[in-house]
Amino acid sequence: MSTHHLASPWRGTTPTRALIVGSAAVFTDMLLHGLAVPVLPLLPAVVQAGPAATGILFSSYAVAMIIATLFAGRVVDRYGPKTPLLIGLVSLAAATLLFATGGPYWLLLLARLAQGVAGGMSWVAALSLIAATTSFAKRGQAMGIALSSLTLGVLIGPPLAGFLVEHFGTASPFLFAAGVALVDGILRVVLVRGTPRVTDDAGGPLTVLRVPGSLSVVLGVAVGAAVLSGVEPVLPVHLGASSLTIGLLFGLTALAAVIANPFVGRYVTTASPRTLIGSGVIAVTVALLVIGFATTLWQTSIGLVLLGISSALLLAPTTTLIGEQGSRSAPPTLGGSYSLYNLAYAAGLAGGPLFTGFAVQQTGFTSAMTMTAAILAVLGGASLIGIPARTSADTQTGAHA
């Protein structure tokens, strides 16, 4: 890795404060995402719209996130991270209040778009804030901690939403999210002072994408993101279970990923990434087939657990590899690596539900899961072609579940 000057310290915004704000921002965004999973597909307005419209509703978050991410980079460059952090906060507050209405469909779609804007602004600003206040040598570790907070939001969201719906109604998860967003907003206002900028990390996502092998890594990240997002909008209606049951099932998936991630991460620097990612491709194919042909709840549970394990097998190696690709770019960059990672992840979040929603409406649930398994197997296999044969222990940046 090339030597860089340390990021200039910014009075009042220490690396610790930046890490707290950044981690809280991405946690809050993914908490709301998780809270919506067992609730949105079962709302009357969404059920009446059909599976295809449900897929559009779920994928619209990622589409808005991608667009906002592209603009967020320019806003951060001009004004620093604090402005987009506050823009993201306003968008998140609007999304939670709109979700609480429960419909009509177009209003929920507007809420989902606002949530995507919040995610795009907050993610880029949060990671940029960490990059601007943390030395390049310690930045990878800090980024890994921030990205790991995503897992907590994904894990807590679905079962918590199910519990709240069962006891307090469909609006309660989003009102709860509004309260969490308020606390998050206080952290953003109080802890972020001034407009710190990155001084030693000039490369962007396109810089990293030009490095040989990066396209394969990006494809692996997108497949890993599409694994679960493709099931989220269609499984609740297919099962016809309560919100609490749906929340627990998806919570089980996230728990499986959390448990599997450290085990996979242990072998990231010793085993071939192709072996790990290839195992993930096989696991996701089997998982989707099990879910598609399941006739009992315990069979579906097995498929979802396997889905969580496959997510760890796909994302732990690619998260490490994307950081290494950034270290090989000219100029070397970690910020550009994670920007590219976020774009690839959002692309997977958009493509998964969009495809499964239309496929379920046209062919039925079992056929849709079979087709999704086949497509992800092909894309995952294609990603193995350019994946580096080995990762480097000295550039490992952590894992993301």
pLDDT digits (tens, 9 = 90+) for 344-359: 988 998 899 999 999 9
> Model confidence at 222, in pLDDT bands (50, 70, 90)?
very high
Give the CA radius of gyration of the chain. 20
pLDDT per position as a tens digit, 37-67 = 888 898 999 999 999 999 999 899 888 988 8
User: What gap in Å lies between CA 27 and CA 44, rounded to an integer?
Assistant: 28
**What is the pLDDT, as a whole number, of residue 397?**
39
The pLDDT > 90 percentage for the chain reads 30
Q: Which residue has the higher pLDDT, 7 or 285?
A: 285
Q: HSE (CB half, 13 Å, CA atoms) of 359? A: 23
Which has the closest alpha carbon to 211: 347, 324, 314, 343? Answer: 324
Q: Nearest to residue 342, comparing CAs of 290, 400, 277?
A: 400
Q: How far apart are the first and last CA of the chain?
A: 26
**Residue 225 predicted with pLDDT over 80:** yes
Q: Is 300 exposed, middle or buried (0-12, 13-18, 19+ CB in 10 A)?
A: buried
204 phi and psi angles, rounded to 5 deg: -110, -175
pTM value surpassing 0.85:
no
In order, the DSSP letters of 186-236 are HHHHHH--S----SS----HHHHHTSTTHHHHHHHHHHHHHHHHTTTTTHH
All domains of the chain in start order, with CATH: 15-395 (1.20.1250.20)
**DSSP letter at 13?**
B
